[in-house]
Chains A and B, each alone.
Chain A
Amino acid sequence: MLITCPYCGPRDVVEFTYQGDGNRTRPDPASTDLNAWNAYVYDRVNIAGDQNEIWQHSGGCRTHLAVTRNTLTHKISSVRSTHAEPPAPPKPARKKPRAKA
């Protein structure tokens, strides 16, 4: 199984860590709704077909990826960063020293 990381290109599945069901949303940390927390921790969609899931490219760029994969065929139809917009590359910490004349 190959996963095409948006940053690193197609890589073998051994480079990735499976983070599970991507349909769950963590309740507000201040929430005291036990049912919501229980559902978040224990309940899974576990669909036979196209599933939304989270993988991390732990053996590469370490980005968390939202992957749509078919659980019957292992075919991956979409991979994108879990960020709505991928973070911009970091700016250099300080300006490059200008070459002295």
Chain B
Amino acid sequence: MAEYSALSIIRNALSGNTNWKPAWRKPDPKPSYDVIIIGGGGHGLSTAYYLAKEHGIRNVAVLERGYLGSGNVGRNTTAVRSNYLLPQNIRFYEHSMKMWERLSHDLNYNVMFSQRGVLNLAHTPAQLDDYTRRGNAMRHLDADAELMDVAAIKRLMPIVDDSKTARFPIYGGLMQWRAGTARHDAVAWGYARGADRRGVDILENCEVTGFIRDGDRIAGVTTSRGEIRAKKVAVAVAGSTGHVMRMAGIDRMPIESHVLQAFVSESLKPILDTVVTFGMGHFYVSQSDKGGLVYGGDIDGYNSYAQRGNLPIVEDVMSEMAALFPSLTTVRVLRSWGGVCDMSMDGSPIITTGPLPGMYLNCGWCYGGFKATPASGWCFAHTIAKDAPHELNAPFTLDRFHRGTVIDDKGQGATPRLH
């Protein structure tokens, strides 16, 4: 299987690049496995990787409806951060951040994790107070946070409109220097290769069409590639959670599927070396290594399973970019796309055993699942292997909504389109 080095690039270049080995096998499904993971996105693949690596469970299949990386793991805007307010979220995402910091070494695969910082801009004194509170909460739990004044922001990012006459003048910002971006496809490929080498079968073009039951217990799945049985069936399908859970007979979930759009501009010379978020509205942007600006904003705001959005949000996002960086109004958009997000009722995820015997559930990532990829897989693997959650994901239960222990970082209530 493929190893990459400077030497291999030269050797393969000389042989016309015809001898590259595939990074993972394309096996046929076996009749049964110890664990089936439905969903070959970032979270499903990292779950398989940590099941094999940390818990020695190698008889595992990852079922992917399309091709690897065709879903949200290849559609997100690649930001990685842990700048939350509530302790449950900070602990979980900070654990993820620490895993990101050593992920390329762990996988022996360059995920191009770049700690270029994530800066949240404040546009009112009250918002800056709010950011100060969040920064303090983060520092209490060993995440890093730093308040920046306008002069420091201007030095960091000369293209920003810091004038007092701006539509929304900047009052300061909260910077997390250890946050940044990672190459999202490489994360999927790295985890896939790592899991494959430990014996995990990655079954692409394998769509789940139903669940096999043994009494009350989930005992496997029927798929477009035949019946596959398993002792444990894990579901990590993000935006398709409602659809898949309905096949298992659960027709109501604390989840709504919404579409989020993302955009890439034409390539520019380096002008922006951090990730920046706009505080008046919802807009975030970073510049990729290739030079394109990668940016996005709010979800479209109504339930959707379509991986494409509508024009009002496009206009909204572009106007926010123009408000923050007037010089970018002449930059052309290269392409845009949409991904389906599993918006939970409190904006926080669900990683839990159940809700049926033999089943395990990982969902509710809203539009922030990418940064959670390592910790989500790590915690989910622990939950599957031990039949009990790890301390880090113990708060992220499915029944927390009915028990009144919601983890609502933004304080928006049960209105998924606002999280």
Q: A41-B414, A71-B306, A72-B306 are in contact. Are A46 and B312 (CB under 8 A)?
A: no
Asked if A48 lies at the interface with its beta carbon under 8 angstroms from chain B, I say: yes
Contacts of A72 in B (CB 8 A): 305-306
Asked if A1 lies at the interface with its beta carbon under 8 angstroms from chain B, I say: yes
Contacts of B401 in A (CB 8 A): 38, 41-42
Contact assessment for A53 and B302 in the assembled complex, using a CB-CB cutoff below 8 Å: yes
Contact assessment for B256 and A74 in the assembled complex, using a CB-CB cutoff below 8 Å: no
**A 36-59 to B, binary, CB cutoff 8 A, 1 in contact else 0:** 001101111111100101000000
Interface segment among A14-22, A78-86, A90-98: the answer is A14-22
A45–B256 CA distance with the chains assembled, in angstroms = 8
**A 58-84 to B, binary, CB cutoff 8 A, 1 in contact else 0:** 000000000001011110000000000
Per the CB 8 Å criterion, the residue count for chain B at the interface is 26
A43–B417 CA distance with the chains assembled, in angstroms = 14
Asked if B402 lies at the interface with its beta carbon under 8 angstroms from chain A, I say: yes
**A 9-41 to B, binary, CB cutoff 8 A, 1 in contact else 0:** 000111000101100000000000011001101
Asked if B169 lies at the interface with its beta carbon under 8 angstroms from chain A, I say: no
Interface of A is mostly: mixed
Q: A13-B310, A14-B312, A41-B414 are in contact. Are A71 and B304 (CB under 8 A)?
A: yes
Contacts of B242 in A (CB 8 A): 44-48
Per the CB 8 Å criterion, the residue count for chain A at the interface is 26
Asked if B210 lies at the interface with its beta carbon under 8 angstroms from chain A, I say: no
Asked if B240 lies at the interface with its beta carbon under 8 angstroms from chain A, I say: yes
CB distance from B333 to the nearest CB of A (A): 20
Contact assessment for A53 and B310 in the assembled complex, using a CB-CB cutoff below 8 Å: no
8 Å CB contact of B417 from A18, A48, A73: A18
Asked if B251 lies at the interface with its beta carbon under 8 angstroms from chain A, I say: yes
Contact assessment for A74 and B310 in the assembled complex, using a CB-CB cutoff below 8 Å: yes
Contacts of B415 in A (CB 8 A): 20
CB distance from B415 to the nearest CB of A (A): 8
Contact assessment for B414 and A53 in the assembled complex, using a CB-CB cutoff below 8 Å: no
Contacts of A45 in B (CB 8 A): 242, 251-252
CB distance from A66 to the nearest CB of B (A): 14
Contact assessment for A48 and B240 in the assembled complex, using a CB-CB cutoff below 8 Å: yes
Contact assessment for A44 and B255 in the assembled complex, using a CB-CB cutoff below 8 Å: yes
Contact assessment for A46 and B257 in the assembled complex, using a CB-CB cutoff below 8 Å: yes
Q: Who on chain B is nearest to A67 by CB?
A: B302
Asked if B98 lies at the interface with its beta carbon under 8 angstroms from chain A, I say: no
Interface CB pairs A-B, < 8 A, 13: A12-B312, A13-B310, A13-B312, A41-B414, A44-B252, A44-B254, A45-B251, A46-B242, A46-B253, A46-B256, A48-B243, A71-B257, A71-B305
5 other contacts beyond A38-B402, A71-B306, with CB at 8 A cut-off? A20-B415, A34-B402, A41-B414, A42-B345, A44-B254
